[in-house]
Structure 1
């Protein structure tokens, strides 16, 4: 048996309960009071799905930008510390032209 992601399972249960709630509201008989305006129970779900889609698109775009720019700006030299003194050592410290 594989490992389970509790957060993902919780989100699944929440979404399933939300869909059941919407289905129950749609199937219930309508009241005879015509003055009361009933809000469609699917509206909050559609709003959440649209928001999720925006986050997903922005995440993909940021991932593409990261991949694109990670090749243009390579990381610099690794900083090396002297084990005895604890000071940072510069690799080009004793460079001479001749």
Structure 2
């Protein structure tokens, strides 16, 4: 069993309220939490309007599967989130 933690930090330029932030970042749980091998949470920048940090914990039988799943998550977020990804970290356990 292999575990990977993907953490992504976003800049949300022009975002003026927590409500707007949730609208722009919203749906992370629905998009990625459906997969039983992925756990999703907002892990930082909770009270900042113009920034957000999300972590994804991926579990799979092989390191290659974990890396593939992390890459798929990262690619999808790059295409769908209304903001800029400013930092990405991956940790394999």
TM range (shorter): under 0.3
Higher strand share: 2
Higher helix share: 1
Q: Which has the larger radius of gyration?
A: 1
TM-score by length of 1: 0.25
